[in-house]
A and B are shown apart, each in its own frame.
Chain A
């Protein structure tokens, strides 16, 4: 194996598992340190620079960071990253003066943003302070897209949503409500300098089974949540069946309880291991006594006298292989389950009925537009897609990242530059040593367990639709949870010429992730020497050491970033340095990097 090139910004970035996993690459450990210091406002702003909606995402993010968290590899549970993001938002104080401002004058470039969801708002957030005249078109009567219509208020209170959207509107962004765009060609004729389409994956999938059209008590989940959010629907029957077991299904079942349903059953076609919903959303639903029935495949609706009275399911049996994959299935019987309403939550599609086939925008498979994965440009120059509209249903944090990338493209396009010529990430290392065994991060390992979010009591939560269930972290919970973070962005930086091969670092390492081995060995041999099993994670290999010509190797998989190697190193060959990974947005494409993140 050749020596590792730590100058590659991705090398240290990958070590910060949470940041690497986050589509918007939020610098998680850096903001957790700010929370630990009580600098909630700064923690909020640092978050906002990457993910734009810390208050919203701190509640409802899909949190890809948490399964990635290193803590989950050395301990039972990952750091409660999402909860800490909410802590930063809850306690941020007055930060409005530090937000990007409406520019004194605009640059005259007009950008149309279709759909007032997270993607369009992110584009506006990035471009408006640079002088672009952004106009958001929304068919509904309030902005937010799926964040408003499909995420119930008991998970995301309306005022939290509005506050963060208003920050962006205050940058001089125009919002046109009740203004659905009916024709792409007409829009193109309006001579916008660029058009961004962030209309989401707005069409919930239907389930065509016998009896489907015979009742108006069969609802499509996303449409139904929509009508609840905009107060067109205010009640539901006593017995409700939810078909599907994704996150939309979880929102539908919990919303049903709040509209008067007494028994709500979620019907899953497959076993639990195949559920699409996030584990915590399942937990939260089950806490509210939602019953989830597995291995029930919908067959037909039962209609009596023009009224929906139940649904027939086939009971499924599956055979699984050792890896848990389904290798066969059979039907073992049928069952009829009575109900008053059925809500279909089996997925969403993109739909662009308003884009004419001859508008110059090519569509690929499944009527999804052809969009460049790096620039988000469609096949028509100057027309960009982002969020669920681009590649199908994902989640808010992906929409934000799409927005950032599309904003870069729109800026370049409007300035006559190549949209594919983008500034790469860079990394800067900053020392953390403050003195003998003193670092400017909390390096000691804290073995506390993950703190559990407090919830409103069951008896109190169903009185109104918008009683927020999660209460946020208490001061004690904050103080403990921040110490669970391992500070993976404080990197172990090795300077081979200084090493005198005393073994002190290897001997002290609590997870045995270091070794010195003969140089020139293949990766397999080095991994064996470290008992390293996780090949997704990198192996660090140093330059040749001065006394013996061996190499220092390190398994990045389990390193705790505790700094004991650096504390025990007599020559400071190991040092703990904060790796500032600079990810360029639209406003610093020419900066060339080097700006500090914190």
Chain B
């Protein structure tokens, strides 16, 4: 909280995007999270990414479940659509929404509690189906809203604020996603905004399910010595492995890199994803290699970040199920509801 709501100031020299909007036009309501919460940084990263991609706020949909992370959908894109669902059920609602209108940009925001405990089943099946959405998993290793119990993502050997040691192995969303066939798997840290924003932009442009597991420290219950998800720990051990820059169609590629360093991936909308290797021998288009890297570093302190795996060739839910491309609200009523006779005929086929 703070003592008053952030005012909308139009700086005379504020940069504008292709729609003539300023960054502040992508703000939402004032955050009620603790001062210093990593989630607020993710929120800021989302506003910046939507602003930079020039996506009109009313062309975006926000969906979330329950938890500190799930509250954050109120804090960005105040002029967009949104549903705050029940605990762990965000993927199902998002799937339905995408089925009804695939012309919008979908972003789901969840946490390690919402996604890895109560909502684990929904989470993996949304990945299996390759629902065309960006899924932000704000991962802080604790249940912040209930005062800091370990979540399923708490690292082995990490200590709680009260000094208790976690003795159960963690569920790692990245290895889980790789194993169930997710087509865009990334890890980020809320403190590295540039990396986070470029991953969000790439994720929004990916055709299919894009997971970004964001280390997002809980400043109130998991920011102490002995925590493996504190700001100090994250800054010390996170290692960007791959840098991903989304370049829209028609825009010139301006960054100058050594030949051979860049791995271009063509996106469905005609834009290009410029992947830049920061660690030797890593190729995010190779799933086996990505899994190996994640497992190799699992037991070390190193936290590999960046776009760890991408496969732009897989069909998304719409293509797999041969679904209608037009949003349902744009289909004429007679076509959408062909009448009782057509229904009867359809039902006959299944008898």
**B 14-32 to A, binary, CB cutoff 8 A, 1 in contact else 0:** 1100000001100000010
> A residues within 8 A CB of B14?
512, 531
Tell me if A568 and B35 are in contact (CB < 8 A).
yes
User: B191 is contacted by which of A443, A501, A558, A571 (Cβ under 8 Å)?
Assistant: A501
Q: Which of A530-585 contact B (CB under 8 A)?
A: 531, 533-534, 547-548, 558, 560, 562-564, 567-571
Report the minimum CB–CB distance from A75 to chain B (whole Å): 8
Tell me if A562 and B7 are in contact (CB < 8 A).
yes
- How many Å lie between the Cα of A297 and that of B119 in the bound state? 83
Given the known interface contacts A74-B11, A531-B14, A562-B7, the answer about A508 and B2 at a Cβ–Cβ threshold of 8 Å is yes
Interface centre among A443, A547, A560 (most CB of B within 10 A): A547
Say yes or no for B8: interface residue by CB 8 A criterion: yes
Tell me if B13 and A533 are in contact (CB < 8 A).
yes
User: B3 is contacted by which of A506, A548, A567 (Cβ under 8 Å)?
Assistant: A567
> A residues within 8 A CB of B13?
531, 533-534
Say yes or no for B43: interface residue by CB 8 A criterion: yes
- How many Å lie between the Cα of A237 and that of B181 in the bound state? 95
Say yes or no for A95: interface residue by CB 8 A criterion: no
- How many Å lie between the Cα of A145 and that of B41 in the bound state? 61
- How many Å lie between the Cα of A511 and that of B13 in the bound state? 10
- How many Å lie between the Cα of A443 and that of B2 in the bound state? 11
- How many Å lie between the Cα of A567 and that of B44 in the bound state? 17
Report the minimum CB–CB distance from A531 to chain B (whole Å): 6
Interface centre among B7, B13, B40 (most CB of A within 10 A): B7
Report the minimum CB–CB distance from A317 to chain B (whole Å): 33
Say yes or no for B37: interface residue by CB 8 A criterion: yes
> A residues within 8 A CB of B12?
73-74
> B residues within 8 A CB of A507?
40-41, 43-44
> Which secondary structure dominates where chain B touches chain A?
loop
- How many Å lie between the Cα of A511 and that of B6 in the bound state? 10
**B 33-45 to A, binary, CB cutoff 8 A, 1 in contact else 0:** 0111110110110
Given the known interface contacts A73-B12, A503-B190, A510-B9, the answer about A571 and B232 at a Cβ–Cβ threshold of 8 Å is no
Tell me if A502 and B2 are in contact (CB < 8 A).
no
> A residues within 8 A CB of B232?
500, 547
Tell me if A570 and B219 are in contact (CB < 8 A).
yes
Q: Which of B141-200 contact A (CB under 8 A)?
A: 190-191, 193
- How many Å lie between the Cα of A437 and that of B2 in the bound state? 6
User: B44 is contacted by which of A437, A503, A511, A534 (Cβ under 8 Å)?
Assistant: A503
Tell me if B6 and A502 are in contact (CB < 8 A).
no
Closest A residue, CB atoms, query B6? A510
Report the minimum CB–CB distance from B286 to chain A (whole Å): 31
- How many Å lie between the Cα of A439 and that of B236 in the bound state? 35
> B residues within 8 A CB of A564?
2, 6
Tell me if A548 and B235 are in contact (CB < 8 A).
yes
Tell me if B217 and A510 are in contact (CB < 8 A).
no
Say yes or no for A445: interface residue by CB 8 A criterion: yes
> B residues within 8 A CB of A337?
none
Closest B residue, CB atoms, query A560? B9
- How many Å lie between the Cα of A569 and that of B2 in the bound state? 10
Say yes or no for A351: interface residue by CB 8 A criterion: no
> A residues within 8 A CB of B350?
none
Say yes or no for A504: interface residue by CB 8 A criterion: yes
Q: Which of A6-25 contact B (CB under 8 A)?
A: none
Say yes or no for B221: interface residue by CB 8 A criterion: no
Given the known interface contacts A74-B9, A508-B6, the answer about A437 and B231 at a Cβ–Cβ threshold of 8 Å is no
Tell me if B3 and A569 are in contact (CB < 8 A).
no
Report the minimum CB–CB distance from A445 to chain B (whole Å): 4
Closest B residue, CB atoms, query A570? B36
Q: Which of A61-116 contact B (CB under 8 A)?
A: 73-74
- How many Å lie between the Cα of A562 and that of B217 in the bound state? 26
> A residues within 8 A CB of B190?
502-503
- How many Å lie between the Cα of A157 and that of B40 in the bound state? 57
Tell me if B36 and A571 are in contact (CB < 8 A).
yes
Say yes or no for B257: interface residue by CB 8 A criterion: no
Say yes or no for A334: interface residue by CB 8 A criterion: no
> B residues within 8 A CB of A437?
1-3
Interface centre among A447, A512, A531 (most CB of B within 10 A): A512
> B residues within 8 A CB of A74?
9, 11-12
Tell me if B35 and A569 are in contact (CB < 8 A).
yes
> A residues within 8 A CB of B236?
547
Tell me if A500 and B231 are in contact (CB < 8 A).
yes
Tell me if B36 and A567 are in contact (CB < 8 A).
no
Report the minimum CB–CB distance from A303 to chain B (whole Å): 53
> B residues within 8 A CB of A506?
44, 193
- How many Å lie between the Cα of A569 and that of B31 in the bound state? 13
Say yes or no for A444: interface residue by CB 8 A criterion: yes
**B 313-329 to A, binary, CB cutoff 8 A, 1 in contact else 0:** 00000000000000000
29 contacts between A and B (CB under 8 A): A439-B3, A443-B4, A444-B4, A445-B9, A501-B235, A502-B36, A502-B41, A502-B190, A502-B191, A503-B44, A503-B191, A503-B193, A504-B36, A504-B37, A506-B193, A510-B9, A510-B24, A512-B11, A512-B14, A512-B23, A531-B13, A533-B13, A560-B7, A563-B3, A567-B3, A567-B35, A569-B36, A570-B219, A571-B36
- Of all A-B residue pairs in the complex, the 9 with the closest CB atoms, nearest first, are A570-B36, A507-B44, A444-B4, A437-B3, A445-B7, A567-B2, A547-B235, A502-B36, A503-B41
Extra 11 A-B pairs, beta carbons < 8 Å, given A567-B2, A568-B35, A571-B36: A74-B9, A438-B3, A439-B3, A445-B9, A500-B36, A502-B231, A506-B193, A533-B13, A563-B3, A570-B34, A570-B35
